[in-house]
Amino acid sequence: MNWPGIIEAYRQFLPVSDKTPVVTLEEGGTPLLPAPRLAAHIGAEIDLYLKYEGVNPTGSFKDRGMTLAISKAKEEGAEKVICASTGNTSASAAAYSVRGGMKAYVLIPKGKISLGKLAQALMHRATILEVAGNFDEALSLVTEVSKTYPITLVNSINPFRLQGQKTAAFEVCDRLSEAPTHHFLPVGNAGNITAYWMGYKEYLKNGKISHLPKMMGFQAAGAAPIVLGKVVAEPKTIASAIRIGNPAGWKTAQEAALESQGKIDMVTDEEIIAAYRLIAELEGVFCEPASAAGVAGVIKLHQQGYFKKNDQVVCTLTGHGLKDADFCLKTSAKEKETGIVKDKKDLLQALGF
Ligand SMILES: *Cc1c(COP(=O)(O)O)cnc(C)c1O
């Protein structure tokens, strides 16, 4: 069966009607991959799964929210959309705007987003506006403007974004025929953890699952306002997609953790990079650095003896590694020393024959 995109797949759970023009790139329907080597490597007797959101059309989970946000904007007759972005929202907004025949304006922190993401916004001909400040400053600027001018905000404070993103929780449950015991994911602006929690609760209410997972959100240590309980004026982390000091979804993320008896915790950049590499080396999955924060959280908590045997643990890998290939090459100095082959003798030696 052809996957129709998340709006058609989950229409009955979404705020759409027959009049809503569906703007889709057939996002969603992403793999839920068992990760037994990774679990064995860290010595955890858990069923570990990776929800690989990097295979969405623009390479991140943002597409789930964007298909709905853009479809609803189109339904309301919008001609322009705007967002602030650490990169993936702008890539997604740019692509879906083209698809819907709208014009996208994206504000990004100057010099702070990965080349891959910038290239996507460029190729889809979004107007890219660099802001001298950070993401948080860019977000308050676009929020203010969209309140008074005829331009639709497509950041995750647009409620349709979260409605679309909750479908990832549905997919996890549909595949496992139940909710997992734990759901780990990175937390930046805290929209996604809010969306997953909404999705799981809706599935419980509809009798699709019999229990809820604990929601386990992980911030980067240098950008961990929720963990520290205060705004971080200058968030610092290599994980650019979660380099956010004053998340819009602060309260709802805390509620998700509290209601589910999960937690919002943090991991260092070193822990994020270690997890990022392990996922690629052991499971054949290449995600971007920020995406590895959830797996880094699993490793951290396992070392504290947190899990019970046979816990079912799902980690969302939020974006594709190719978005930030630069980062991987910069941090792989040793592996870059590839051998030079001049003749057959060199080749055979390299092959170990
Ligand atoms: C947007 C994004 C995040 C953070 O998600 P929030 O909803 O802002 O918490 C994490 N990883 C990647 C790759 C992202 O693009």
pLDDT tens across 1-44, in order? 799 999 999 999 999 999 999 999 999 999 999 999 999 999 99
Q: Which 8-state DSSP code applies to residue 43?
A: T
What is this structure's pTM?
0.96
- Provide CB contacts within 8 A for 336, sequence distance 6+: 329
Q: Is 310 left (phi over 0), alpha (psi -120 to 50) or beta?
A: left
Token pair 């941090």 in the structure block, residue: 331
- Which carries the bigger pLDDT value, residue 302 or residue 334? 302
Measure 44 CA to ligand 1 centroid, in angstroms. Answer: 26
Distance (Å, whole) CA 254 – CA 232: 17
The pLDDT of residue 38 is 98
Measure 192 CA to ligand 1 centroid, in angstroms. Answer: 7
Residue 65 clears pLDDT 60, i.e. is over it: yes
Bridge partners (DSSP) of residue 239 are: none
* Two structure tokens written together for 110: 């100057």
Q: Evaluate: CB of 186 within 6 angstroms of ligand 1.
A: yes
Q: How confident is the model at residue 334 (pLDDT cuts 50, 70, 90)?
A: low
Mean pLDDT of 249-269: 98
Distance (Å, whole) CA 240 – CA 35: 25
Mutate to test the pocket of ligand 1, among 83, 88, 163, 266 (most ligand atoms within 8 A of CB): 88
